[in-house]
Structure 1
Amino acid sequence: MKRLSMIIALAVCMAGSGGSGAAAEQFMSDGWSWTILVPSVAQTDVLGTHLRDIVNEDKRRSTPPPDVSRLGYTPSKARRSANLAAFVERTRAVDPNGAADLQRLFAEGDIIERIGTAIAPVGLRTDNLADVYALWWITAWQATRGDNDTLGRDLYAAVRVQAARALNDSGGPASASNARKQEFAEALLVQTALIDGAVEQAKRDSARMRQVRAAVRKGALAMGLDMARMEITGGGFVPGGGR
């Protein structure tokens, strides 16, 4: 989503602070992975498997819509500050330069509020896991194809339904506390903004774009999702690709 790329004012985590392509690839492969940045509210392989099942299951379209309200949470500014600090520390273990870049980015203002403003026009919110997961899913899928165009509101809504069904059925996220939901959501939102910014920055550099595409695909695979085997339609994600 191009609106998100404007949030990343620094060359965050793209070349380490020393401009090394190898450092960039290492950070994107490890620092953006679920296990480093995103807390374990749900087992990623379980959630990814369920998402794949939903994509493959045609009858999902005739089932009642999922209860999205179970995935909402009331954000706390204090928790947000703690979450962002924790993300920096998790990243520091993998890439100290990248962690310093993240810290500077967070110091520029409330990144979650800025993301919320950017995604509001397509009908998404930052205080609901279904919205956040749909945003991450679409952004990551686009990144594996070297794209970050903003899509239509109806498409985001369709993927939101898919995400809500999976998150509810997998159990953990829907029953998590406010604090855990917020931590999960904010980690995905930060990761989404970084991915979007990376794609935007790599558009004039084909070698870097190959790194970004490969790194995002690797991170998604760690979450149980093979983006190469999905395509997106007006009704959400469907089986396809295989590239």
Structure 2
Amino acid sequence: MTMPSLGGAMRKIVLGILLAFVLTPFPAIAQGVFDMGALTNTLSQGALVQSETARARTNQIFRPQARVPRSQAVDRAALLYRPDMTVRKRNMTQIVERLRRVDPVGAADLQRTFASRDVIAEMDRVMRPVGLKPDNVADAVATYLVTAYYGVRGSTEGEPHEFKAVSAQVGRALGADPAFTSASDASKQEMAESMLVQAVLANQAVQAAQKQPSAMPAVKAAIGQGTRSSFGMDLTRVRLGADGLR
């Protein structure tokens, strides 16, 4: 899946932006492969997600000893949200402000990019032809995780069936958790859009490092640290297959 390019100017600084996201403080992550509390604690920490985060913090999912079975029925409607452009603008502003705390120059560049382009709309045009949707939270999280999985390996690969396998895996976990299914559309949109922005940044960082190999170790480390901070998962220690990430 070919993601949108952020353009020459942005690609020169995208590693700095990616590293800055990693360096911003995250709440403590409980032990586990995926953690629902971590899922709601992505890039932005606006008031919209605070109640869901508090309720979900101790609910660990996808742990090896407590996986959601593949036979688990999924309320697919609960994975969707109705996109709102006002919410999207607020989400992009929150992402910029989060970055501004550690990298004012990178934040200014990212703000200009968001002002001139709708990155989520561009991802929509990339995702839908392969059967994924940005307004499906599981699809958005899967897009980030598969991108990061290959990113820590210095690659920008990723086949549609791999994204779909991880989406099904994430969807079963999210659909089984009342904290997520009862969340508002705005909260789900915030989660999905922050995941998609991180996926684009990771993809762009790897592409840039492929042209400047000396930067690749830092890119891999930054992407890996990002998934450990957000999900409590070391992507170098799992494998991507027909059942998703195991």
Normalising by structure 2, we get a TM-score of 0.81
Partner of 2:161: 154
Deviation at 1:236, TM superposition (A): 1.6
1:122 has 2:120 as partner:
no
1:50 has 2:61 as partner:
yes
Structure 1 residues 86, 42: CA separation in 2 closer, same or farther (over 3 Å shift)? same
Structure 1: 4+ residue segments shifted above 3 A: 10-16, 23-26, 31-36, 38-47
Question: What is the total number of aligned residue pairs between the two structures?
Answer: 226
Give the stretch that moved more between structures: 68-77 or 169-178: 169-178
1:237 has 2:230 as partner:
no
Ranges in structure 1 where 5+ consecutive residues have no aligned partner = 239-243
State whether residues 43 and 194 of structure 2, in contact with CA within 8 Å, keep that contact through their aligned partners in structure 1.
yes
State the alpha-carbon separation in 2 of the partners of residues 191 and 111 from structure 1.
11
State whether residues 65 and 161 of structure 1, in contact with CA within 8 Å, keep that contact through their aligned partners in structure 2.
no
State the alpha-carbon separation in 2 of the partners of residues 32 and 196 from structure 1.
22
Deviation at 1:162, TM superposition (A): 0.5
State the alpha-carbon separation in 1 of the partners of residues 86 and 134 from structure 2.
16
State the alpha-carbon separation in 2 of the partners of residues 143 and 112 from structure 1.
20
Map 1:97-108; keep pairs closer than 5 Å.
97-108=105-116
Structure 1 residues 96, 149: CA separation in 2 closer, same or farther (over 3 Å shift)? same
SS in 2 for 1:209: helix
RMSD: 2.7
Partner of 2:7: 9
State whether residues 29 and 215 of structure 1, in contact with CA within 8 Å, keep that contact through their aligned partners in structure 2.
yes
1:60 has 2:58 as partner:
no
Map 1:116-195; keep pairs closer than 5 Å.
116-151=124-159, 153-195=160-202
**CA deviations over 1:170-220 (Å, ceiling 9, x no partner):** 432221111111111111111111111111111122221111110111111
State whether residues 74 and 127 of structure 1, in contact with CA within 8 Å, keep that contact through their aligned partners in structure 2.
yes
State whether residues 149 and 235 of structure 2, in contact with CA within 8 Å, keep that contact through their aligned partners in structure 1.
yes
What percent of counterpart residues are identical? 32
Deviation at 1:106, TM superposition (A): 0.6
State the alpha-carbon separation in 2 of the partners of residues 193 and 229 from structure 1.
23
State the alpha-carbon separation in 2 of the partners of residues 186 and 99 from structure 1.
17
Structure 1 residues 83, 194: CA separation in 2 closer, same or farther (over 3 Å shift)? same
Normalising by structure 1, we get a TM-score of 0.81
**CA deviations over 1:58-85 (Å, ceiling 9, x no partner):** x823x13422211111011111112111
